[in-house]
Amino acid sequence: LCPCLIYGAYVFLPFDAPLLPTVSARLVYTLRCATFATFPIVLGMIVSAISRLCSSALQPFGELHQEVEIHRTYVSQSVHLFILYFFNMAVLATYLPQELLKLIPLLTGLFAISRLIFWMSYAIGRSFRAFGFSMTFLPLLAMLLWNLYGMFVLEPENLLS
């Protein structure tokens, strides 16, 4: 489903990436796009704080209720995946040709939507969360494989430079 969503958005959304001739401009563009991927994480932090505040626990630092634990786990996992996603997107931005830089905001949007789907399905039940997690993890895995291919096959002479 992820490749279909990315391809459909790439073809049918009417925007193009700005002209980014240097690596530093591409990294700044990726950093700015990645800011939008933090929205589900910040939203999760807010909901987690509200659920902890409204929890019926007598001891605030004691055992967490399930509704509080769901949000805390979501935020923790999302932060870990965001770090991996961001670093892979930053490396990907250095290898992509100019005409494919439109993928950076699309992958950012896919990450944000995927994390929100994961959060909703995780709140429904733990058995439903695989769909949202796979929509986050499989593009991350594809970016990692493309980055390794780019580093070791396309430009092995520039591996560490």
Query: What element of type H or E holds 21?
Result: none
- Distance separating alpha carbons of residues 119 and 139, to the nearest angstrom: 18
Residue ranges of the chain whose pLDDT lies below 50? none
Q: Would you call 73 helix, strand, or coil by DSSP?
A: helix
Q: Provide the residue ranges of all domains of the chain, joining segments of one domain with +.
A: 22-159
Please state, rounded to an integer, the average pLDDT across all residues of the chain. Answer: 85
What confidence score (pLDDT) does residue 161 get? 63
Tokens representing 6 are: 């990315």
Cβ neighbours of residue 50 under 8 Å, at least 6 residues apart?
none
pTM score of the predicted model:
0.85
What confidence score (pLDDT) does residue 63 get? 61
From the number of C-beta atoms within 10 Å of its C-beta (0-12, 13-18, 19+), residue 69 rates as: middle
| Topology adopted by domain 22-159 | Four Helix Bundle (Hemerythrin (Met), subunit A) (1.20.120)
pLDDT 10s digits, 92-126: 998 888 888 999 999 999 999 999 999 888 878 77
What confidence score (pLDDT) does residue 105 get? 92
23-37 vs 103-124: helix crossing angle, rounded to 10:
20
